[in-house]
A and B are shown apart, each in its own frame.
Chain A
Amino acid sequence: MSQDDLQQLRRWRTLGARQSENVVRLAQRVLQAGGLGDEEWPVREQLTIAALDLGQVKLANLQLRTLQAKFPKSPRADLLLGLKLEAVEEFERARQLYQGLLTNNECNVAAHQRLIALSPSTQDAIGNLLTYLDTFYSDAAAWSLLAELYASLGAYAQSLTALGHLLVLHTWDSQAVTRYAETAYTMGDYQLALKYFLRATEMETPADGNAEGFRTRSWWGVKQTAKRLLDPATRTDTAIPDDSVVPPAKLQKLEALATERILAVGGANMDARRAVLAG
C-alpha cells in the first residue's frame, strides 16, 4: 500500500503534476509510515509545495522546518521558504529572498521563475520573461506564459512569435498547435489559422485515419475558419506564401469534412450541435 503511494508521489513529482489535495493526503500517510530513507526529503518538499498550494501554511511550516534543519544552506530549502512567504502574502520579503538566491547563483532557474511570477504588472512580467528566455531558451512553459501575456494585451503578432518558439520546443504538442491557430484566427489571418487547425487535426488522428478521434476543438476551428474564408466579405490578406493558400474548392470540402467529423464523435445534445453547425 505504502509502496504504491510512494510510487504515485514519485510519478507526480517527475511530471510536475499539481494534484495538491492528493499529495497532501498521500504524503502525510507515507511520512507517517516512515522507512523512506533518502526519499523522505523530496517527499517533504513535495508536501510543502502542495500544502502551500492549498493554503495549509501550518503543515507547510512543519515540513519546512524539518527540511531547513536537515539542509541548512540549501537553496532548494530557501526557495520553499520564499514560497511560504508568498503564501502568507509577504511578497516584498519573498522578492528579497529570491534576489539573494540569485546573487549566490545567477542561474537559479526556480528563483528567476518566482521573480517573474511576482512581477507587479503584465508589462513588467513580459520584460522579465524576455530577459529570462534570452538565457533559458528551452523553457517551454515560459514561452507559453509569454504568449498568454501578449495575447491579454492584444499583441497577437508577438503572441504568435512566442507560440512559434513553443512549437519549436514542443513539436509533439497538438494543443499548442491549436492555440497557435486560434491566435492567428483572432489576429485575422484565416489562411494561416486554417493551416494550423488542419495540422492539429492531422496530429490528433492516428496514421490509418480509422480510429475515432475524441478531440474536436481543432475540427471546430477548421469549420469556423473555412466558413470565414468562404465568406466573400472576409479580408484574405495572409502571411503565408501564395502557392500554399487553400483554394475555395478545397475549403468547401474541408468545411464538409469538419462538419462530418464533429458529428461523428457523437455524444449528448446532437441537435444543439447540428444547429450550431448549420448556423
Chain B
Amino acid sequence: MASVLKEQDLYLDPSIRDWVLIPITVIMLLVGVLRHYVTQLLNSAPKPKPAAAVREQRLLSRSHAIRGIAPLSPLYPAQFKSFTASTSAAMASGDYLQNKGGEAETPNPLDPKNMDSMMDGMKKQAVMMVPNMLIMQYINVFFSGYILIKLPFPLTLGAKSLFARDIAMPDLSVRWVSALSWYFLNLFGLNGVFKLILGDENAATDTRDQSGLAMLGGAGGPMGPGQPDMVKVFKSEIENLSLADGLYRWVGDGVEDRVLERWGKK
C-alpha cells in the first residue's frame, strides 16, 4: 500500500531551473512588454468620422433619449408629441442618412478606406500571433521534454495533457510540469503581471480580447462591411418611438396630489 502512495521522487538538476525555467518566464515577460510597445507603434490614430455619419448616429441616440424616459417623462403631453413627431419625421425623411442616395450604394469591400481598417486589425493580430508561434517553436526545439517544476498540490489525471504535454510518460505524476506546458501556463497566467507593469489597458494581455477588438474596429469603421442598413434601423426606431407613445406618462400628472400627500395635507 505504502509503495503505491509513495511520492514519485525525481531530482531535478538545478541548472534546469537556471537555464530553462527562469529563461522561459523572462522571455515570456519581455515579449509581452515588447508586444505592448510594438502594438502602440502600429496603432494609427483613429480617422475622424465625417459629420454626416455622426449626425446619422446621433439622431438615433436622440430618439433613444426621448423614448427611454417616456414612462416618466418630464415633457408635458403636447411637447412630448411634438418631440416624437419631429424625431420620427427626421428619421423618415432620409435627410439624416449618410448616403442620401439610399440603397443605390452598396459598400464595396475592397474600398481602400475599408482596407485601411482591415489592415490595422491584421497588423495587430500578426503582432500577437508571430511571436507566440516563434516562442513555441523555440521552446519545442530547445526545451522539449524537460520537466521543470513540481506543483505543490495533487491533481487529477485529466490535467495531465495540460501539464505534461510533451512528455510521453503515462505513469508520471500529473504534478510534474513540462517545458511546453510551462510556456502555456505563462502565456495565460502572466496577464496579471502585465497589468501590474503596463497598466490596465495594455496590449500584451489576452489574445482573444485583442482579436475581438480588432474585429469590432473593422466592423465599426466608417462604412465598413457589415455596417447595418441605416434605412432599416431608422424604420424600426420609428416603430419603437411610436410604441413609446403607449408607455408615455407625464411626470406632472397628479404631481399636486403627490406633493400634498408627502407633506400630509391631503
Contact = CB atoms under 8 A, between A and B. Distances in A.
A152 to B, nearest CB: 21
Chain A: interface secondary structure?
A: helix
A195 B76 contact: yes
A198 B258 CA distance: 9
B113 to A, nearest CB: 16
Contacts of B61: 137-138
A7 interface: no
B65 A244 contact: no
A199 B74 contact: yes
A266 interface: no
A198 B48 contact: no
B58 A138 contact: yes
Contacts of A253: 260, 265-266
Given A138-B58, A239-B78, A244 B252 contact: yes
Interface residues on A, range: 35 or more
B259 interface: yes
Interface stretch (B49-57, B151-159, B187-195, B209-217): B49-57
Interface string B234-266: 000000000000000011111111111011111
Interface residues of B, number: 37
Interface stretch (A14-22, A89-97, A160-168): A160-168
A45 B204 CA distance: 30
B186 to A, nearest CB: 29
A199 B83 CA distance: 20
Interface stretch (A27-35, A78-86, A102-110, A270-278): A102-110
Interface stretch (A59-67, A114-122, A201-209): A201-209
Nearest to A104: B48
A237 B265 CA distance: 27
A254 interface: yes
Contacts of A195: 76, 252, 255-256
B139 interface: no
Contacts of B255: 195, 198-199, 202
Nearest to B57: A135
Given A107-B49, A168-B83, A198 B58 contact: no
B77 A171 contact: no
A52 B133 CA distance: 55
Contacts of A198: 252, 255-256, 259
B69 interface: yes
Nearest to A167: B74
Nearest to A207: B262
A112 to B, nearest CB: 10
Nearest to B77: A241
B33 interface: no
Contacts of A209: 262-264
Nearest to A73: B45
28 contacts: A106-B48, A134-B55, A137-B58, A138-B62, A164-B79, A167-B75, A169-B65, A171-B69, A195-B76, A195-B252, A198-B252, A198-B255, A201-B259, A202-B255, A239-B78, A240-B76, A240-B77, A241-B77, A244-B250, A244-B252, A244-B253, A244-B254, A246-B256, A253-B265, A256-B265, A257-B259, A257-B263, A257-B265
Rank and list the top 6 A-B pairs by shortest CB-CB distance, nearest first.
A195-B252, A106-B51, A105-B48, A167-B74, A137-B62, A209-B262
Interface of A: 104-108, 134-138, 160-161, 164-165, 167-169, 171, 177, 180, 192, 194-196, 198-199, 201-202, 205, 209, 239-241, 244, 246, 250, 253-254, 256-257, 260-261
